[in-house]
Amino acid sequence: MGSKTESNLIFSGEPQILKRKNDTLTPLKPSITPFEEHAIITGGHMPSTFLLCSFKTCPWVQRAAIVLQEKKIPYDISYIDRDNRPAWFLAISPHSKVPVLQIDGKDSIFESNAIAEYLEEATTPRLHPADPIARARNRAWTDYVPTFASAISTTMYADSEEEFTARAAKISGPFGKLEEALAKQGNAGPYFNGPKLSLVDAAYAPFLQRYTFMDRLRPLGIIESFPRLSAWRDALLATPAVKASTVSNIEAVWQENLILRRRWLAKFVSDNVRGAAAA
């Protein structure tokens, strides 16, 4: 798995693209990577480039990056200026939003779920369960991600303490739904389907990470009431693919974003994080 630390990235011109140096792929067989194995299976075609368009703090981009990391697929990443989105990006993003995955410099796919499903169909190893019912259940729970994400995001972007408290009170609802879902899975974990990371895990990990960042600034005491969800969160945040899916100083960059957006939580952020996004 290629490292995502700042020391392992180089600039490569316009548009601003960050490329890894010395990517190391873990082979399935001697000298054959999962990406190369896919090329053999599909008759020799292997995309020359994957370009993932991102904002540094975007959890939806992180979802796609986790899939790329877990599948050990080399990719480039371009960090878009949120306040000055370039014309080349607007031309490939109908919503003017990230993520967008550009393939071979020609085809572009937008929306994180579409990107994850494309990567699942086009590359190996498979992250969805083989059983069709289990696979459908996984897709159903990925469809619940926006509801889960909204409870967390609206809380962390509250404009006042009263608003923060009112919104935080609603987090238990989605957390309870996932606690029930994990119980019904009936496995020992550590991931949603058991020992293997899946697209469901990739979808929820960024938002469980954002909850954790928020909880460190302003302790909420919510996730402790959901032991399965808490254990799942801990396993996901310790997973190499999740750790490698963002800039190395993601928590500081996330905190700086609170300051830039003038959110209430920013009052708990140290001024030392200013400039983190440019680091």
The mean per-residue pLDDT over the stretch 75-85 comes to: 93
The mean per-residue pLDDT over the stretch 87-107 comes to: 94
pLDDT digits (tens, 9 = 90+) for 155-213: 999 999 999 999 999 999 999 999 999 999 999 999 999 999 999 999 999 999 999 99
Q: Do 110 and 93 meet the contact criterion of CB atoms below 8 Å apart?
A: yes
pTM (predicted TM-score): 0.84
pLDDT for the residue 43: 53
pLDDT at 32 over 80: no
**For residues 206 and 199, what is the distance between their CA atoms, to the nearest angstrom?**
12
Fold of 6-122: Glutaredoxin (3.40.30)
pLDDT for the residue 40: 54
pLDDT for the residue 203: 98
pLDDT at 72 over 70: yes
In CATH, 132-243 is 3.40.50.970: no
pLDDT for the residue 22: 39
List the chain domain ranges. Answer: 6-122, 132-243
pLDDT at 9 over 50: no
Distance of CA 227 to the CA centre of its chain: 23
Mean pLDDT over the full length of the chain: 87
* Reported confidence tier of residue 45, pLDDT bands at 50, 70, 90: low
Distances from the Cα of 122 to the Cαs of 68, 110, 197, in angstroms?
Answer: 12, 16, 18
pLDDT at 35 over 70: no
